[in-house]
Amino acid sequence: MRFLENRFAATLICVLMTTGLAEAGSVGAAAPEPMTVRLTTAPAGADGSVRGALLLDLAPGWKTYWVDPGTSGIPPTIDFAATSGLGHAELHFPAPHRFGEGLARANGYNRSLAVAFELAPATGAELGPVAASVMMGVCREICVPVQATLTAAEADAGAVQAAFAALPERGEAPAELASARLAGDMLTVAITRPEQGGTSAPRDDADLFVAGPAGWYFDEPDAPARQGDRLVFQVPVLERPRGEAGPPERVDVVFTDGAGALEAKGLAVAPSR
């Protein structure tokens, strides 16, 4: 498929142009240019769970990528498997934006950010020192995959609280914020967004980012249409797993406009009627 060919070509260009894999291993922080990476946590909760943040400080002019980087870029890999006693890890990314054109079109960030996370211990276990292995792509004129192996040192509850506060708004259940239905190669996503400022027209900067299960890729939507209290986006499917005729079971969606961001994780996708 053309999309996968373009995606492979763009990623291959990044890999071929890189000056080498930046590697770093330290306690608490690593500073491989052009991005500084720091791992911090808050004190453990009464149930033994730990909240933390991966602090990514980008050098001026550099960019990095969201979980679905778009048609170019390198998706981030953040792995806590080296944390002893770990039962489950959940990552939370801030709302992305789009940049670049053509093959260089991507979803991500052009300023420093924090990836929040929650770690839960396995049954009957206790979490040991929090350790993470990180691989992220950073790009300017060239793209450099940055790798770091980190162990959290000093707790920084303030930084962790700020990371969680910067996340998109979420409801108690994804269905409270959005609904999704797939018909053919078009995903329709309706976001609950009542009229604001006395106008029913969507903001010009309204956008929607969709991340699917492995093998699913979605294009940028056109401008949304308003239907009552909801904004309806039509999101083309660029690629689906081989032999997959039905919809993905669930997707993650992030809605952004100048007034804020909303996220629906694990949003169920209904098939066409």
Terminal Cα distance for the chain, rounded: 27
How far apart CA 119 and CA 122 sit, in angstroms, is: 10
Q: What is the mean pLDDT of residues 111-123?
A: 98
Pick the closest to residue 85 from 53, 111, 49, 122 (CA basis). Answer: 122
Q: What is the mean pLDDT of residues 46-69?
A: 96
Burial class of residue 260, CB neighbours in 10 A (0-12, 13-18, 19+): exposed
Strands annotated E in 62-185: 63-65, 77-79, 86-92, 97-99, 106-109, 113-121, 131-139, 143-151, 178-183
Has residue 107 got a pLDDT over 60? yes
Predicted pLDDT at 273: 72
Going by pLDDT thresholds of 50, 70 and 90, the confidence category of residue 88 is very high
Q: What is the mean pLDDT of residues 141-169?
A: 93
Report the mean per-residue pLDDT for the chain.
86
Would you give the DSSP letter of residue 30?
Answer: E
Tell me the CA distances in angstroms from 243 to 66, 89, 108, 239, one per residue in order: 27, 31, 30, 11
How far apart CA 262 and CA 249 sit, in angstroms, is: 20
Tell me the CA distances in angstroms from 218 to 107, 185, 186, 239, one per residue in order: 12, 10, 9, 7
Strand partners, 271: 182
Q: What is the mean pLDDT of residues 19-42?
A: 65
Which residue ranges does the chain devote to CATH 2.60.40.1250?
Answer: 2-165
Predicted pLDDT at 22: 45
Q: What is the mean pLDDT of residues 230-241?
A: 94
Would you say 213 and 249 are in contact if contact means Cβ atoms under 8 Å apart?
yes
In the chain, how long is the greatest CA-to-CA distance?
55
Lowest mean pLDDT among 119-123, 160-164, 173-177: 173-177
Predicted pLDDT at 188: 97
CATH architecture of 174-271: Sandwich (2.60)
Predicted pLDDT at 16: 34
CATH architecture of 2-165: Sandwich (2.60)
Number of H helices, E strands in the chain: 3, 20
Q: How many residues does the chain have?
A: 273
Predicted pLDDT at 131: 98
Contacts with 124 (C-beta within 8 Å, 6 or more apart), sequence order: none
